[in-house]
Chains A and B, each alone.
Chain A
Amino acid sequence: MTVGIGVMLLFAVSFVLFFLLSQRKLHQEQQKIQEQNLLHQEQLLYSTIQTQEEERKRIAKDLHDDIGSKLNVIHLGLYRLQKHTVENPEHELTIKEVSEILQDTIGATRRIAHDLLPPTLENFGLKEAIRELCDKYSRTGAVNAHFEVFRQSGRPCDKNAEVNLFRVVQELTSNSIRHGKAENILISMWITDTEIRIEFTDDGLGFDPDLIPQGQGLGTQSMFSRLKMIGASMYYDTAPNAGYKAFIQYPYPFPAL
């Protein structure tokens, strides 16, 4: 009887212990697989973003250098043709119409190329690109966008980081206009020797963060992925009818020399 009791108790205890240990091991393995999947997805997203940027750059370059310049040559040819055309009002009118359409096409091509990759960002950096973005939106009358830089450092920033920070600001502005119906946007920027900080504020509709959690939309997801990719962080503060505030912090990956 004593042996029976002992065996049964030993069986029960070892069964429970075996279950707990195996369960823990299984969970650890599942967690590991989940982490690997997450990492893989993250890497996939990063490479998608990077490919997207490279493609944008290539298309913008092709549009500007190839199609744009060829359209200019056509325009020049048309101008010369117009000069040499014998006086025929019908021909003159047609050439004038074609010339106008061509000028619109050249303008549109340039605009598309600029939207794909603002040359200001390439040539003058993030600060000027954001300034240009604000000016552009203000000029269209869609929103009253203000931009201010509080501190500046001469330290050059990584181009890849600049492009991603710019895209995030672009997405935030676009969201404020499209979803937030904001009338005023204020973008403040601090550039120090160790980091870039951007504060984005609008007076739009805002939203309840509990109902729409962070990173749910595709655009928002892409913003967070871009920031994570460059080692930056963002948090936001919003409430229904209380506008939207976002704080972005990009610490330079290594200290200034």
Chain B
Amino acid sequence: MIPAYDVMRFIINVTWLPVLLSLVTLIWKRRTLSLTYVVIGVYLLGTSLVNLAASIFSANRMNNLPLLHFYTLIEFIGWAFFYRVVFYDVRWIERVFWPFLFGGAVLIVGNTLFLESPFNFNSNAKSVTQSFFILASIYYFFYNFGKTDFSQPQNLSVGLINTGVLLYYSGSLFIFMFSKMLIAAHTSREDQVGFWLLNSLLTLVFQILILTSILITTNKSSRKK
């Protein structure tokens, strides 16, 4: 039987494939992209670079958790902008966006500086930001219920990303919430690997959904041209 850790490593490596495909497609079709996908492109590029750095750190047996703190900040800004663009016509979001973004960023940085060491898991910040992503994706579904025709490619593509956000962050919320606790409780690596395997599986599904969404939207733009 293949060890769970190897399966997880394999999934993490495979996940690079949809990420790279997404990035290549977005760069290739950059002239026809809507603002939503420009945001997704910048987000993917930023998070991929941090992930790459984390992999290098990990390969060199260095603590890569400071990168997770930085990743949380990029992730928060990326999805905040994504939902700002998606809800471009919602007045109250327009009003609260900048204070919310600034406040959120200050909390994430403040958490790293004063509450959770950059060399440990930032469970507080992660839990709060992930809860925000879950709420935003649920609000997206409520907001579009009965109003949006998801058989239209442009709506379907955004709907797929939103589904990915809901699935991934719902699944991984508890993993990050308790990751600090697991380390503190000296839980063995073997006992923890199951959770990280699930997290990597969810990441793969999420990235496949993002890629599908990008392919749908870029295919639609090419046909329109």
Contacts and interface: CB of A to CB of B under 8 A. Distances in A.
Interface string B145-160: 1100110000000000
Contacts of B166: 12, 15-16
Measured as residues with beta carbon below 8 angstroms from the partner, the interface class of chain A is 10 to 19
B173 A8 contact: yes
Contacts of B16: none
B157 to A, nearest CB: 15
B35 interface: no
B38 interface: no
A23 B167 contact: no
Chain B facing A: main interface SS: helix
Nearest to A22: B145
B171 A19 contact: no
A1 B178 contact: yes
Contacts of A74: none
A5 B195 contact: yes
B167 A13 contact: yes
A8 to B, nearest CB: 4
A15 B142 CA distance: 11
B163 interface: yes
A239 interface: no
Interface string B182-220: 000000000000010010000000000000000000000
22 contacts: A1-B174, A1-B175, A1-B178, A1-B195, A4-B178, A8-B173, A8-B174, A9-B171, A11-B170, A12-B134, A12-B166, A13-B167, A15-B138, A15-B141, A15-B166, A16-B141, A16-B166, A19-B141, A19-B145, A20-B150, A23-B145, A23-B146
Interface of A: 1, 4-5, 8-9, 11-13, 15-16, 19-20, 22-23, 26-27, 30
